[in-house]
Amino acid sequence: MSDETNKGLLSPLRRKLLMGMAAIPAVTMLPRASFAQAPATSAVNTTGLAVTDTEVTVGILHSATGTMAISETGSIEAEKLAIEQINAAGGVLGRKIKFIQEDGASDWPTFAEKAKKLLVNDKVAAIMGCWTSASRKAVLPVVEQYNGMLYYPTFYEGLEQSKNVIYTGQEATQQILAGLNWIAKEKGAKSFFFIGSDYIWPRTSNKIARKHVENVLKGKVVGEEYYPLGNTQFNSVINKIKLTKPDVIFTDVVGGSNVAFYKQLKAAGIDLSKQALLTISVTEDEIDGIGGENIAGAYACMKYFQSLDNANNKAFVPAFKKMWGEKTVIGDVTQAAYLGPWLWKLTVEKAGSFDVDKIAAASPGVEFKGAPEGYVRIHENHHLWSKTRVGRAKLDGQFELIYETADLVEPDPFPKGYQ
Amino acid sequence: MTDNRFVNRSELIGILVLAVFLVVVLPLTLDVFRLNLVAKYLTYAFVALGLVICWGYGGILSLGQGVFFGLGGYCMAMFLKLEASSVENTKIQSTPGIPDFMDWNQITALPLFWKPFNSLTFTIAAIILVPGIFALIIGTAMFKRRVGGTYFAIITQAVAAILTILIVGQQGYTGGINGMTDLRTLKGWDIRPDHAKVVLYFFEVGCLFVCIMIAQFVRHSKLGRILVAMREKEDRVRFSGYSVANFKIFAFCIAAVFAAIGGAMFALNVGFMSPSFVGIVPSIEMVIYTAVGGRLSILGAIYGTLLVNFAKTSLSETFPELWLFGLGGLFIAVVLAFPNGLAGIWGDYVQPRIDRLISSRKPKPEGWTDGSVADGAPAE
């Protein structure tokens, strides 16, 4: 939109410049100067994307409004930070990244509509976006049809792989198996109770966890319960937990339900310093709402915690807080969202082109050494090789790192023996 | 009062103007992406049209039209999903040949109630009949017991909530909260490319005009007059010997069928269906479209739907973080300043000026339009 108004202002301006003799050298020199640094647009953009000699446009597509805004705001902030840092470091192939932000409004069809708008109208070179599986499922046919590139940050259920998507979060086996192995070994856990929100991600994750518990760990699942999204009554399941006395409560309850769940757990006298609880859905963002005192002692299994002690993270956390305020917290998905623009930049530079086909082909093997979680690499299946970590929630809402895998865990979106 | 004429002159002009706007102006000025968005907006116009009859004329406020929109949409989506789930398209699944979300939920055979949706004829019949019969059941249960007004509105909301929970809960059979995505072809014809979107747009506009004509017919028939009479003084109509309940059931069923056709069009044009169109919030939004357009005006409802959705899209594109405030402000402004909506603005300000203009040229003005008497009736 602002582009059109700019053009309207520029053309009379340009005419005036051309009329003045003094301006001629300046007009001819300017483009040459920028050409000297960056490869010609015609060479790096053969499919009509929004790439000029000085700028390249990408889309940011998350929910800034609606129920998911509380989770997705962190992703928006991380992506904007990454774009700002990349621009400060010289941009991509000599071009500054400009972003167009669209609001998915926590509504899956809106996500599809906006994705289409970004690809068809704005011709963005890549989209950083989506959060819930439902929004990704809605956007997927659009990016495949119009041959776009989506960088998707959330840990998710797997069973998906697309030329047009890079999954910067963990798929289910990557996230879950190492955590279960750890808790079985460390706590001698044999019996598990599963509690989840009722949609595809918890159901698939629990299916994988159940197969692993029963077939690999030779343990037992003593209960498996699902509650609708937004549910706030967990008393009946808490009674069942008290009756079955599982070694581990394994939860993938999402969103606002977590607040009720942990408060009721505490009120029912279940002490998380004695009763092991492993969650794969609570990050620092959720603890903000739950309250550290209600969840302290619980274990979380994912790939990033704000408290990670490495050089990249020590630079990332202050930069994030400087841009978005001292009080912000950084969860697993926020960090994964931060990877999106960086991985795209690295891939574009490897491919030497903004063309989506070339980026899709060049993605496998791209390494990002500056990731706050530590070194990551893109697998042939467009997911990331990354470490899995277990953290323990503290009173101040941060996690204390308890365990991390020695090596990067291979992403396996179609796990054999777990389906 | 001529009962056999169901479109008077000024209405005919209005319908022709709308036709030119939708068939000529929009396709010529918009690119395919925006045209497809208009097609999406127009699917809600079907619902708004139904609400004009049911709420505007019959005085029955239904806050659950999303239920019927959803039922129609899901019927269509089931057919399209089955076609998209051919064995070769789904060979990476554990059970090829069934929709992907069933496979994710460990369902190994197509459920019985899905099987008839392999047939397009059955699907089209189901789009009309399933919501129609459902509305008949709800309507009979409510209106025969003389449940009306606020209580009826609340019950329709409850139905919307129940259906959403049912769809989300039974994700193995319905796709759960994700809905049914990645719909591809209709009888082998790809519905995704640009030229297909244009064809679907014109098809939808055609259906919309058929529904407009039906609405016009209902409005000008004796039935329409009874509906208005019922809205204004229900007891008097009952004492005159009419079965009030039957007329209400009829209006509610018509609104339901219109909504269902809109839902089916939505699945075709947008390429997916999800429970986010079934619940309370979308149902209320649909009532807002009608209110903005003017609940007494058939054409107003269509313009209202287009205006609200256009505002929604453009505000959210321009102000991704603040657009909801803008939209909220728009609703409040319209309701405060123009209680009869767009049609009210037209009727109060624009129409009289045009009439004056015409009558100043032609010294002998023609008789007042028949419909305006009923239309002008103030709502309490």
Q: What pLDDT is attached to residue A37?
A: 59
Put simply, whether A200 touches B (Cβ < 8 Å) is yes
pLDDT beyond 90 at B322: no
Q: What pLDDT is attached to residue B105?
A: 79
pLDDT beyond 50 at A195: yes
pLDDT > 70: percent of chain B: 93
Query: Which DSSP helix (H) or strand (E) runs through B190?
Result: strand B189-190
Least Cα distance to B212 among B347, B305, B344 occurs for B305
Q: What pLDDT is attached to residue B323?
A: 85
Please tell me which of the candidates A65, A112, A419 has its beta carbon nearest to residue B324.
A65
- CB distance B371 to B333 below 8 Å: no
First to last CA, chain B: 25
Q: What pLDDT is attached to residue B362?
A: 59
Rounded to an integer, the average pLDDT of A96-119 is 93
Q: Which of B30, B102, B178, B309 to mutate to test the interface with A (most CBs of A within 10 A)?
A: B178
The string of pLDDT tens digits covering residues A122-133 is 999 999 999 988
Least Cα distance to A149 among A349, A412, A367, A355 occurs for A355
Please tell me which of the candidates B104, B176, B316 has its beta carbon nearest to residue A103.
B316
Give chain B's contact residues with A (Cβ, < 8 Å): 31, 33, 36-37, 40, 92, 94, 101, 104-106, 165, 168-169, 171, 176-179, 181-182, 192, 270-272, 274, 276-277, 313, 316-318, 320-321, 323-324
8 Å CB contact of B323 and A103? yes
Rounded to an integer, the average pLDDT of A145-151 is 96
The string of pLDDT tens digits covering residues B9-47 is 888 999 999 999 999 999 999 999 899 999 999 999 999
Q: What pLDDT is attached to residue B363?
A: 53
- Does residue B185 sit in helix, strand or coil? strand
CA B74 vs CA A379, B108, B257: distances in Å: 37, 21, 14
Query: Which DSSP helix (H) or strand (E) runs through B316?
Result: helix B298-318
A139-143, A373-377, B54-58, B342-346: segment of lowest average pLDDT: B342-346
pLDDT beyond 50 at A24: no
Question: Could you tell me the two tokens for A274?
Answer: 């004695």
CA B162 vs CA A22, A189, A392, B157: distances in Å: 74, 39, 39, 9
Cα B254 → chain centroid: 11
Query: Which DSSP helix (H) or strand (E) runs through B189?
Result: strand B189-190
Put simply, whether A203 touches B (Cβ < 8 Å) is yes
8 Å CB contact of B317 and A102? yes
Rounded to an integer, the average pLDDT of B86-97 is 84
Rounded to an integer, the average pLDDT of A30-56 is 78
Q: Shortest Cα distance from B373 to chain A (angstroms)?
A: 41
Q: Which of A143, A161, A200, A208 to mutate to test the interface with B (most CBs of B within 10 A)?
A: A200
- CB distance B277 to B69 below 8 Å: yes
pLDDT beyond 60 at B2: no
- CB distance A113 to A59 below 8 Å: no
Within 8 A of B178 by CB-CB distance, chain A residues are 108, 133-134, 137-138, 199-200
Bridge partners of residue A56, in order along the sequence: A51, A97
Look up the pTM and report it: 0.83
In whole angstroms, give the CA distance from residue A288 to residue A306: 13
Mean pLDDT of chain A: 89
Q: Shortest Cα distance from A330 to chain B (angstroms)?
A: 21
A362-366, B159-163, B291-295: segment of lowest average pLDDT: B291-295
In whole angstroms, give the CA distance from residue B132 to residue B122: 15
Q: CB within 8 A of A164, min separation 6: which ones? A: A140, A143, A144, A147, A148, A149, A150, A356, A360
Which pLDDT band, with edges at 50, 70 and 90, does B380 fall under? Answer: very low
For the beta carbon of residue B182, count every other beta carbon within 10 angstroms.
21
In whole angstroms, give the CA distance from residue A199 to residue A192: 20
Q: What pLDDT is attached to residue A6?
A: 43
8 Å CB contact of A200 and B104? yes
Which pLDDT band, with edges at 50, 70 and 90, does A304 fall under? Answer: very high
In whole angstroms, give the CA distance from residue B52 to residue B58: 8
Within 8 A of A103 by CB-CB distance, chain B residues are 316, 320-321, 323
Which pLDDT band, with edges at 50, 70 and 90, does B5 fall under? Answer: low
Within 8 A of B323 by CB-CB distance, chain A residues are 65, 103
Mean pLDDT of chain B: 88
pLDDT beyond 60 at B375: no
Which pLDDT band, with edges at 50, 70 and 90, does A11 fall under? Answer: very low
Q: What pLDDT is attached to residue B4?
A: 52
In whole angstroms, give the CA distance from residue A119 to residue A275: 49
Residues B335, B340, B343, B344, Cα dihedral to 10°: -100
Least Cα distance to B313 among A102, A367, A344 occurs for A102
A10-24, A82-96, B219-233: segment of lowest average pLDDT: A10-24
The string of pLDDT tens digits covering residues A384-405 is 999 999 999 999 999 999 999 9
Side-chain half-sphere CA neighbours of B59 within 13 A: 22
For the beta carbon of residue A198, count every other beta carbon within 10 angstroms.
20
Q: What pLDDT is attached to residue B324?
A: 83
Residues A174, A175, A177, A182, Cα dihedral to 10°: 130
The string of pLDDT tens digits covering residues B234-265 is 999 999 999 999 999 999 999 999 999 999 99
Q: CB within 8 A of A334, min separation 6: which ones? A: A74, A75, A77, A78, A153, A283, A285, A320
Question: Nearest chain B Cα to A120, which residue?
Answer: B33
In whole angstroms, give the CA distance from residue A360 to residue A380: 10
In whole angstroms, give the CA distance from residue A302 to residue A280: 6
Which pLDDT band, with edges at 50, 70 and 90, does B137 fall under? Answer: very high
pLDDT beyond 70 at A116: yes
Q: Is the dihedral of CA B362, B368, B371, B373 positive or negative?
A: positive
HEC-encoded secondary structure of chain A: CHHHHHHHHHHHHHHHHHHCCCHHHHHHHHHHHHHHHCCCHHHHCCCCCCECCCEEEEEEEECCCCCCHHHHHHHHHHHHHHHHHHHHCCCECCEEEEEEEEECCCCHHHHHHHHHHHHHHCCCCCEEECCCHHHHHHHHHHHHHCCCCEEECCCECCCCCCCCEEECCCEHHHHHHHHHHHHHHHHCCCEEEEEEECCHHHHHHHHHHHHHHHHHCCCEEEEEEEECCCCCCCHHHHHHHHHHCCCEEEEECCCCHHHHHHHHHHHCCCCCCCCEEEECCCCHHHHHHHCHHHHCCCEEEECCCCCCCCHHHHHHHHHHHHHHCCCCCCCHHHHHHHHHHHHHHHHHHHHCCCCHHHHHHHCCCCEECCCCCCCEEECCCCEEEECCEEEEECCCCCEEEEEECCCCECCCCCCCCCC
Q: Which of A5, A60, A75, A108 to mutate to test the interface with B (most CBs of B within 10 A)?
A: A108
pLDDT > 90: percent of chain A: 77
Within 8 A of B102 by CB-CB distance, chain A residues are none
Put simply, whether A124 touches B (Cβ < 8 Å) is no
Question: How many residues are recorded in chain B?
Answer: 380
